[in-house]
Structure 1
Amino acid sequence: MCHASCKLFVGFVLLQDHNSLQPFHSMEMIMNQILHSFAVSRYEHMKDDLCQLFEDYPHKDFQLHTQRIEKSQMVAYLYQQLETLQARGRLFSLSLQGRLKGLLCLVPKPWLSRQLGLNIWYVQHLVLAPEIEPWLVSRLLREAVASIKDEVDFVFARPASSDILSVQGLESIGFRNVGCELVGNVRCQPLTKPLTHELQSIQKTQLDDICSIARMCHEHNHYIYDPRLSSEDAAALFEALVRYQATSEHVEVLVATQEQEAVGFLSFRQNKSLSQFFGRPFACLDFIGVHPRAQGQGVGHALNLAALHQLHEQGVKYASVRTMSSNYLALAALHKLGYRITSSNFVLHWWPGISDVHHTRHDV
């Protein structure tokens, strides 16, 4: 910001600054008055800039390459999704000299909110051009989260770990890192030999059993790593996630049994939105849990093989898997399947009214 005449365009409102010595706090006061929400439908003329912003974002390129997705196709998909995201949440823009250089999308998470009794939001997109000054990123983020501060208790984000500009911007306004998440792919293949464990699709009578297993296997997720959430809250949330998936018509759940008792489960699903847009099936492996007494017996490996076999039968070539980098047992099991890491994310949490939040870690 050292030019004598600098044009800023934030929220599609133009600011002309003729004073090169204007102090930082004065610039902040001006920006407080000009930041506005961004409406996709009202700015169709900015479509090229929006698509270029996504096109220039490099931090997921290897992941797209391994999934055999052309960057231009993903850009078209992301642009299409903006209208839907706008209806659900808030979009904010950042431009320099009339060209779009940043996009922020915040969306509420009503299901998670109901489970924890908190108003939870998520940073769905934070896409920034590399030439943006860090202080300007902080200003954009601060003003955006301030617009929802009165209606939110907790916000989380998953910026790419290589996207230092976004990570530092989020940290500068109070987001805190609670872990690193690895994202990768596993090839879906048919079974080459019979499984040594008894597996079946979940039955209604097994729901409570697998939820009980879920409570025992929640040690590695970003909620348990947050010192402001109690261990009980984190366990209850993971159990609720498993229960939700086990009763959803869009999710398949396999259960491993020993002597007619459930000892493990795995949930997996197709990504309907991606599949419909690209005309070929995409899928992911979601949650897995094995009862402590059955661990080390190959139960998890059998569940993974069976799920990948079923997805192969559905025409899926690769399944994506996301796990915390500290979950070494899961990573070891995945590597047996040929797991290939394609990207990594930092998981960041923000509690705007921490003094008013009652969900605090009592056992730390």
Structure 2
Amino acid sequence: MDRADGMDEIERIAAAAEAHDGAAPLDEATWRTLRRHPERARHRVVDGGFALVVGRELTVVVDPPARGAGVASGLVSAELAEAGGGELLAWSHGNHPAAAALAAAYGVERVRDLWVMRRAMAEPLPGLVVPDGVTVRSYVDTDADEVVRVNAAAFAHHPEQGAMDRAELAERMAEAWFDPAGLVVAERDGSLVGFHWTKQHSPDLGEVYVVGVDPVAQGQGLGRVVTLAGLHHLAGLGVGEVLLYVESDNEAAVATYSRLGFGHAAPDTHVQYRRG
């Protein structure tokens, strides 16, 4: 995909939609695919909107001034026809009512809710207590294989995160926001048992980007330890708020984050729909 093929328009419409809706219509993984692996994406740009298909995931974005004129339904109809009877997944970032109406119109089912939870960093953090025999430190380059291993084990059933390999790890670390000091790892007996990858979006906003604990070490409180270590790192950067994304049905993770002061508001929900 080159600029002549519509990237400028995709970027413009996505930015306008985010400013209007308060939620980004394209996530980090989609942008990374567009910019680093455009051959993996198919796009359709029309007057007032665009559709993207990456793998089995469809994204439809309509320029705010063009909404209500049938742009979205036209794009959805075209992409469903092109996909035939195959499975398609689609995210509604922010649980947009127009997306729900489209899903109902096309008989597409709601299959997954992803919560955004937030914490005001003006609230004091609990102290960090590291278990005996565990070392908590920042990432170094020789940790790469262990981070990939722990991530794959921790997210074996996660449809996106669990597929990260060394190449994708390198791509994420090549992003401008990456800071090795913000990737906190927990080590025991020479092996990584968990990690917390943080992200700073702006001077005032941080993110619990990924928290992973090796299944053999789960149930020992290490998730809380690495999460708290990363939060202390973000607090040291001076951010005023930290957000995170968590599956709504992951009761253990939601409980851990709630005890650390994170809360969820209903509009802060991303919904995934599936056809086929």
Q: What TM-score do you get using the length of structure 2 for normalisation?
A: 0.67
How many angstroms does 1:208 deviate by? 2.1
Bigger radius of gyration: 1
CA contact (8 A) 1:128 1:166 kept: no
**Matched position secondary structure for 2:210:** strand
1:186 and 2:131 equivalent?
A: no
Cα distance per residue 1:248-299 (max 9 Å; x no partner): 463332111122321101111122xxx3xxxx43221111111223222221
Q: Secondary structure at the match of 1:296?
A: coil
- Taking the TM superposition and a 5 Å limit, the aligned residue runs for 1:264-275 are 264-271=194-201, 275=202
Q: 1:91–1:175: structure 2 CA closer, same or farther, 3 Å change rule?
A: farther
| Secondary structure at the counterpart of residue 261 of structure 2 | coil
- What is the Cα deviation at residue 148 of structure 1? 7.5
Contact 2:91 2:273 in 1 (8 A): yes
Ranges in structure 1 where 5+ consecutive residues have no aligned partner: 1-36, 64-73, 75-83, 94-102, 110-118, 224-233, 352-364
Q: Please give the alpha-carbon distance, in whole angstroms, between the structure 2 residues aligned to 1:169 and 1:206.
A: 45
TM-score (norm 1): 0.53
Asked if 1 retains the 8 angstrom alpha-carbon contact of 2:60 and 2:75, the reply is no
Aligned equivalents of 2:17 and 2:111: distance in 1? 31
| One-letter amino acid of the structure 2 residue matched with residue 167 of structure 1 | A
CA shift at 1:176, angstroms?
Answer: 4.4
SS in 2 for 1:193: coil
Corresponding residue number in structure 2 for 1:201: 138
Paired with 1:90 and 1:316, the residues of 2 have a C-alpha distance of: 38
Matched AA of 1:185? R
Residue-by-residue CA offset, 1:281-324 (whole Å, 9 max, x unaligned): 32211111112232222211111111111112212111111111
Q: Which amino acid aligns with 2:118?
A: N
Alignment of 1:213 onto 2:143: no
Q: Which runs of 5+ in 2 are unaligned?
A: 1-5, 25-33
Describe the SS at the equivalent of 1:196. coil
Q: Which residue number in structure 2 is paired with residue 125 of structure 1?
A: 61
Q: 1:325 aligns with which of 248, 266, 270?
A: 248
Aligned-residue Cα RMSD (Å) equals: 4.4
CA contact (8 A) 2:193 2:214 kept: yes
Distance 1:54 1:266, change over 3 A: closer
The alpha-carbon distance between structure 1 residues 40 and 256, as it changes in their structure 2 partners (threshold 3 A), is: closer
Could you say if the C-alpha distance between residues 125 and 220 of structure 1 is closer, same or farther in structure 2, counting changes exceeding 3 Å? farther
Equivalent residues in 2 for 1:52-67 (5 A)? 55=20, 57=21
Structure 1 residue 132: deviation in Å?
4.1
Amino acid at match of 2:59: V
- Structure number with greater CO (CA < 8 Å, separation at least 6) is 2
1:253 is aligned to 2:206: no
Q: Given the superposition, is the C-alpha separation of residues 192 and 182 from structure 1 closer, same or farther in structure 2, using an over 3 Å criterion?
A: closer
Structure 2 counterpart of 1:348: 273
| CA distance, structure 2, for counterparts of residue 240 and residue 257 of structure 1 | 20
